[in-house]
Amino acid sequence: MIVFDLVCRQGDHRFEGWFGSSDDFADQQARGMIACPVCASADVTRAISAPNLGRKGNQIATAKPAAPAVQANAPLPPEAVAVLKTIALMQAEALKSSTWVGDRFADKARAMHYGETQAAPIHGQATPEEAKALFEEGVEIAPILFPVAPPGKAN
């Protein structure tokens, strides 16, 4: 996996994206599959970032300064709380109009993609291998950002 710093040209929002390779990023960007999590704009590019250069094999490793301590129960900044609430509400609304298919997600998504069954919004579970296979076949899927309990299993 490779992590890119991304920026939305619409509102100059910065965020991270994880991709299998640079080619995966370019493919998803060309297909309009990358969107800003703040404003949903698809006008997203890679942000300028410093390269990660490893040390040469003949150099002695030196101790790195310790990272600043982060308080485990520190409250999130209000902006972060607002963004997370917005994303959670958007996801909840999308799930209301979607059908839970459990671990049959990959089969159902593939059947709709190939026209074997009528297209409909669904959500469920897929293994990383199943999700990768769907992506490679061109089946448009997206991860659910917050965990979802199957119907009847919620607290």
The token pair that represents 150 in the structure block: 């199957």
Task: Kindly report the pTM of this predicted structure.
Answer: 0.47
In 3-state terms, what secondary structure has residue 29? Answer: helix
- Digitized pLDDT (tens) for each residue of the chain, 155 residues in all: 778 888 888 888 888 888 888 888 888 888 888 888 888 888 888 887 656 556 666 666 555 555 555 556 677 788 888 888 888 888 888 888 888 898 999 999 999 999 999 999 998 888 889 989 998 999 988 887 777 767 777 64
Domain boundaries, given as residue ranges, for the chain: 2-46, 78-137
Q: CA-based angle 54:55:57, to the nearest 5? A: 120
What is the edge-to-edge ordering of all strands in the sheet holding 44-46? 14-19, 2-8, 44-46
- Quick one: the chain helix, strand, coil %, rounded to 5? 30, 15, 55
